[in-house]
Amino acid sequence: MSQKSNIHFDISERKILLRIFDIVAVFTVLYGLGALFDFDYFVINLEHWVWSIVLGFYLTIFATIFELYNLQKASKFEIVVQNIILTSSVTVLIYLLTPFFTPELPENRLQIVYFYIAVNLALFIWRYAYIVLISAPRFYKRVLLVANAPQIDEIVRSLQKSDPNYKVVGFINTDTINYEPKEESDLQEFALTNVAKTIAEQTISEIVVAASQDDGITVYLYNQLISLLENGVPIREYTQVYEEITHRVPVQHVDKDFYRYFPFSRSNQNKLYLFFHRVLDLILSIIGLTFGLLISPFIIIGNIFANRGPVFYTQMRVGRNGKHFKIYKLRSMVVDAEKYGAQFADKKDTRITGFGRFLRRSRFDEIPQFINVIKGNMSVIGPRPERPVFVKELSEKIPFYEIRHIIKPGVTGWAQVNANYGSSQEDALEKLQYDLYYIKKRSFFLDISIVIKTLSTIIFFRGQ
């Protein structure tokens, strides 16, 4: 069977493409600036190769912090413009302030302005080209879904929300129940009589199977899928696709055979990784507590006038292996916040004081938790520790919730930098999916990614 060509880029390919061409675009414009005009501050040659390496490194780091590699935002030009300005401004500033690794400041200070304009111009041109060309519908990955009717809306929503270039064109219903969309949708339903014809006519890039033989895949459909696989059509299982696109583990689709889905990271038992992880914990905790001491006068004054009560508070939380410990925080709620019993905080919680809301959004309220990290109750990175009453309640309602306790809880984590505010059972499920992904994929590079994303959260004032 000959399949019509359908070019598309996967998530990892687009992120690599963005990183490479950000650097290529900037270097190209700077090289052209030097060749056409009297510009000698930044020279690209073998003699000064370190200058280029350092600029590329700074650009990549700050572009990550200011979310230029967030694919949902990379396709929206108005957001990209803002993030480009932030990225180029900080990159150029830090580049100018590190003359040991970078060129000395030029006598003609206008060259600094040209340098800054060139970096912005290069990124603007390339990112506009990306939005117009790469993010265009002709490069979408066109997907055919094989699933039961009740699951279709949820699956399509979760996949397309996480990857704007992932287009579920239609589905094959393996259920005896007819599909009824919960909201307006352009999804097409295809018959299972000739799947090969559907693939060819719709230029399908991939088939995602979210049903098993027990759930309605007949021998007839199964044989068609095998034939398509033999002819080079990619066919993937839904939980694998979900995890790859959303960076979450879909626990609601795992059933009870969780060992099949959770081959936990070897880093959880790797002594070298755990040693460096602990060293990172101590270094970041010392930095965090030092920063806390520097801003403590401001915190004390704000607490006296706006919070009116104790500066700190302690609360019992569940740690590694289910052991309880006292967590330290700066108080952000009124003194008698739980006079009616324990309850989840929500985004517009009236118990949070005005100054407390600032502490939460800036993440300053969590600075005392570095004491917990030094004591060994917590790590800087890990699942957020929850209260015993909520753990008991959520463990009864959400499958595999207790698994998040096999590692130390963290001050920040994969769920904190990706998930919504945890004020409901649905939010708790989403955060659990992120926590399990971290436990499953735990590594030094993922830890660094979380630290960088946490900086983004603080800079954009998105604390909760």
List per-block mean pLDDT (blocks of 10 residues) for the chain, which spans 464 residues: 55 86 95 88 88 94 91 87 94 90 86 94 95 80 88 84 83 85 81 89 90 73 90 88 85 59 69 92 95 94 86 92 94 73 64 85 92 96 92 87 91 88 75 90 90 84 62
Domain boundary (134, 167, 191) is at 134
Same domain for 165 and 187, yes or no, is yes
Q: How many CB atoms lie within 10 A of CB 213?
A: 11
Q: Which class for 121: exposed (0-12), middle (13-18), buried (19 or more C-beta within 10 A)?
A: middle
Same domain for 199 and 117, yes or no, is no
Same domain for 240 and 368, yes or no, is no
Query: In whole angstroms, what is the distance from residue 351 CA to residue 404 CA?
Result: 28
Angle at 241 between CA 413 and CA 273, to 5 degrees: 35
Same domain for 88 and 155, yes or no, is no
Domain membership of residue 1 (yes or no) is no
Same domain for 282 and 385, yes or no, is yes
pTM of the model: 0.81
Specify the pairing of strand 379-381 against strand 235-237.
unpaired
And the tokens for 461? 């004032």
Same domain for 147 and 238, yes or no, is yes
Specify the pairing of strand 206-209 against strand 235-237.
parallel
Query: Is the Cα dihedral 324, 328, 333, 335 positive or negative?
Result: positive
Query: In whole angstroms, what is the distance from residue 463 CA to residue 455 CA?
Result: 11
CB 221 within 8 A of CB 190: no
Q: How many domains does the chain have?
A: 3
Domain membership of residue 278 (yes or no) is yes
Angle at 390 between CA 386 and CA 394, to 5 degrees: 105
Same domain for 234 and 279, yes or no, is no
Q: How many CB atoms lie within 10 A of CB 245?
A: 19
352 DSSP assignment = B
Whose structure tokens read 């992880």?
277
* β-bridge mates for residue 314, sequence order: 328
And the tokens for 297? 């006068």
Query: Is the Cα dihedral 97, 370, 462, 306 positive or negative?
Result: negative
Specify the pairing of strand 410-412 against strand 379-381.
parallel
Cβ-based neighbours of 46, under 8 Å, separated by 6 or more: none
Specify the pairing of strand 312-318 against strand 324-330.
antiparallel
Domain membership of residue 2 (yes or no) is no
| Domain boundaries, position 37 | 11-134
Report the SS3 class of residue 107: coil
Same domain for 109 and 19, yes or no, is yes
Same domain for 277 and 388, yes or no, is yes
Domain boundary (212, 246, 280) is at 246
Alpha-carbon radius of gyration of the chain: 26
Domain membership of residue 291 (yes or no) is yes
Domain membership of residue 464 (yes or no) is no
Query: In whole angstroms, what is the distance from residue 62 CA to residue 147 CA?
Result: 41
Helices (H), ranges, 37-109: 49-65, 71-74, 77-96
Query: In whole angstroms, what is the distance from residue 382 CA to residue 132 CA?
Result: 38
DSSP string computed for 164-215: TTEEEEEEEE-SSSPP--SS----EE--SS-HHHHHHHTT--EEEE---GGG
Query: In whole angstroms, what is the distance from residue 413 CA to residue 449 CA?
Result: 10
- Look at residue 75 in the predicted model and tell me its pLDDT: 85
Please state the φ and ψ torsions of residue 232, each to the nearest 5 degrees: 95, 10
The Cα-based distances of 385 to 143, 298, 335, 406, 458 in angstroms read 38, 27, 22, 12, 20
